[in-house]
């Protein structure tokens, strides 16, 4: 059984994990040594638990307590229950999705272990918006990609907003950081990956004109919305592809572009009969 604990005072030290919920604040905490992240909403907490992330505690309101108790939370886990206004005082924002869980990070795996069984991977360089990172993971998971690699400057996929926007897809796909960057891309080439850059450049090949065999190992590289991929990263790729645009629009939001590219390149059923 979980341990249900009523919290009436927002200053109660037992809920200190839920204060200062910024990315840097969570990662710099001395305990646990691996750092914390927040899973928000019952479906996301459930997916984090299924992925093997240890849960330290859960913070919820009376309205959502029964839903929390239905989750596969390990015995003796503290479940803190507080009124909505108290939760707001503790966290500093309105928790509209019912529950927060303080989860312990796991050590990042090696690039080789993440990509070993994959055929389609996304590689992100300099995507610093947490909402975009979450949307990228959701598209990758739903549209036939097997893993995600991020460069050292990319936003944290386990930041609260990234996790929430991905609807827990950050737990469904293996991922890790590539370092050193961009030298680490050379290791992918040696492992048989074809590096393909998604770019708005006019001399890139139009996406509808590109085809890949399902057994090919394709790594699709994407950069930040402004500068895009750096020249150092582009020098590593074998070819560049673009999404044809009209009406004078030169490019899409990175999350929208990823969804289109993943559908075009990923291992996703093209007809309803294929999915049965």
Which residue's entry shows tokens 């097997």? 146
pLDDT, averaged across the chain: 90
Rounded Cα–Cα distance for residues 224 and 257 (Å): 11
pLDDT tens digits along 101-150: 999 999 999 999 999 999 999 999 999 999 999 999 999 999 999 999 99
Rounded Cα–Cα distance for residues 194 and 215 (Å): 12
Rounded Cα–Cα distance for residues 145 and 214 (Å): 11
Position with higher pLDDT, 253 vs 267: 253
Indicate the fold that domain 111-275 takes in CATH: Alpha/beta knot (3.40.1280)
Its pTM stands at: 0.88
For residue 57, give the nearest of 31, 85, 83 by alpha carbon.
31
Each domain of the chain, given as residue ranges in start order, spans 3-104, 111-275
pLDDT band at 95 (very low <50, low <70, confident <90, very high): confident
Q: For the beta carbon of residue 25, count every other beta carbon within 10 angstroms.
A: 11
pLDDT tens digits along 191-220: 999 999 999 888 999 999 998 888 899 999
Return the CATH number of 3-104, one of 1.10.287.70, 3.30.1330.30, 1.10.10.10, 3.40.350.10.
3.30.1330.30
């Amino acid at each position: 059984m979980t341990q249900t604990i009523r919290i009436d005072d927002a200053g109660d030290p037992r809920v200190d994990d839920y204060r200062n919920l910024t990315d840097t604040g969570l990662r710099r905490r001395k305990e646990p040594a691996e750092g914390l992240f927040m899973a928000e909403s019952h479906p996301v907490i459930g997916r984090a638990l299924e992925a093997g992330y240890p849960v330290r505690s859960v913070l919820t309101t009376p309205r959502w307590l029964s839903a929390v108790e239905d989750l596969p939370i390990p015995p003796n886990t503290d479940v803190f229950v507080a009124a909505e206004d108290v939760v707001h005082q503790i966290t500093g924002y309105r928790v509209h999705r019912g529950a927060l869980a303080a989860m312990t990070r796991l050590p990042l795996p090696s690039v080789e272990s993440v990509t070993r069984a994959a055929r389609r991977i996304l590689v992100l360089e300099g995507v610093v918006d947490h909402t975009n990172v979450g949307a990228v993971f959701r598209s990758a998971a739903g549209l036939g990609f097997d893993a995600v690699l991020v460069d050292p400057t990319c936003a944290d996929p386990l930041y609260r907003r990234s996790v929430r926007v991905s609807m827990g897809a950050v737990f469904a796909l293996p991922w890790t950081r590539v370092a050193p960057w961009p030298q680490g891309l050379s290791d992918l080439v040696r492992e048989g990956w074809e590096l393909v850059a998604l770019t708005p450049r006019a001399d890139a090949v139009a996406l509808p004109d590109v085809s890949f065999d399902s057994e090919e190992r394709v790594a699709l590289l994407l950069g930040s919305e402004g500068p895009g991929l750096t020249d150092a990263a582009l020098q590593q790729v074998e070819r560049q592809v673009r999404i044809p645009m009209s009406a004078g629009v030169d490019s899409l939001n990175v999350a929208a572009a990823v969804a289109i590219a993943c559908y075009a390149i990923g291992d996703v059923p093209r007809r309803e009969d294929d999915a049965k």
